[in-house]
Structure 1
């Protein structure tokens, strides 16, 4: 992956504290999570039920799908419980000034 594919996603102050926000970045539906002082990003659509994860419940580093209560680790997109078995795509995050950038290939 080229290191030049950083895309401006959102202002840091637009993100809710310890929660998730859905955004469209480079034509992709992305979920951006804040957990303490850390920011993570994954695809926003559950790999099991086609529900938007920004409508789910964030508990620490886990996002719960609002449709079937499957969970993913927001740090890497891996499923953490049934019924989900397929990982979400996760995106590297970089903060510059007060902007969040995602690396999109």
Structure 2
């Protein structure tokens, strides 16, 4: 499981919730959106602040600092002041455990 980071037990990540982990120096947030798991870099592309802690509404997360919004399922920007998408990462479920990794450098 090279590069994969354990996030939590699947049962610990309910719909509408998220968990934070680090893959090396990369902060990653793993979200449960209606039973599907998605992982994004936990960094707003507008100013580098954490995304988590902001409002999660369905498939969207709003940066708590300046209000930029991103699609949790794709990382796409939905609202300025951000103009660049957030990095999206793979998620896998193995033996009831959720894993993610920063695959940008593979």
Partner residue, 2:88: 90
Q: Is 2:25 the counterpart of 1:27?
A: yes
- Paired with 1:41 and 1:89, the residues of 2 have a C-alpha distance of 9
How many residue pairs get matched? 103
Q: Helix, strand or coil for the counterpart of 1:13?
A: helix
What's the CA shift for 1:83? 1.1
Q: After alignment, is 11-20 or 54-63 more displaced?
A: 11-20
Structure 1 30/103 Cα, relative in aligned 2: closer, same or farther at 3 Å? closer
Higher mean Cα deviation, 35-44 or 49-58? Answer: 49-58
Alignment root-mean-square deviation, CA = 1.9
- Quote the Cα distance in structure 2 between the aligned partners of 1:88 and 1:71: 10
Q: 1:69 to 1:81 in 2, by over 3 A?
A: same
Residues 40-83 of structure 1 show CA distances to partners (whole Å, capped at 9, x for unaligned) of 00000111122211111111111100001110001111101111
Unaligned runs of 5+ in 2: none
Q: CA deviation at 1:9?
A: 2.8
8 A Cα contact 1:29 1:45, kept in partner? yes
Unaligned runs of 5+ in 1: none
**Runs of 4+ in structure 1 over 3 Å off:** 3-7
Which of 33, 37, 40 matches 1:39?
A: 37
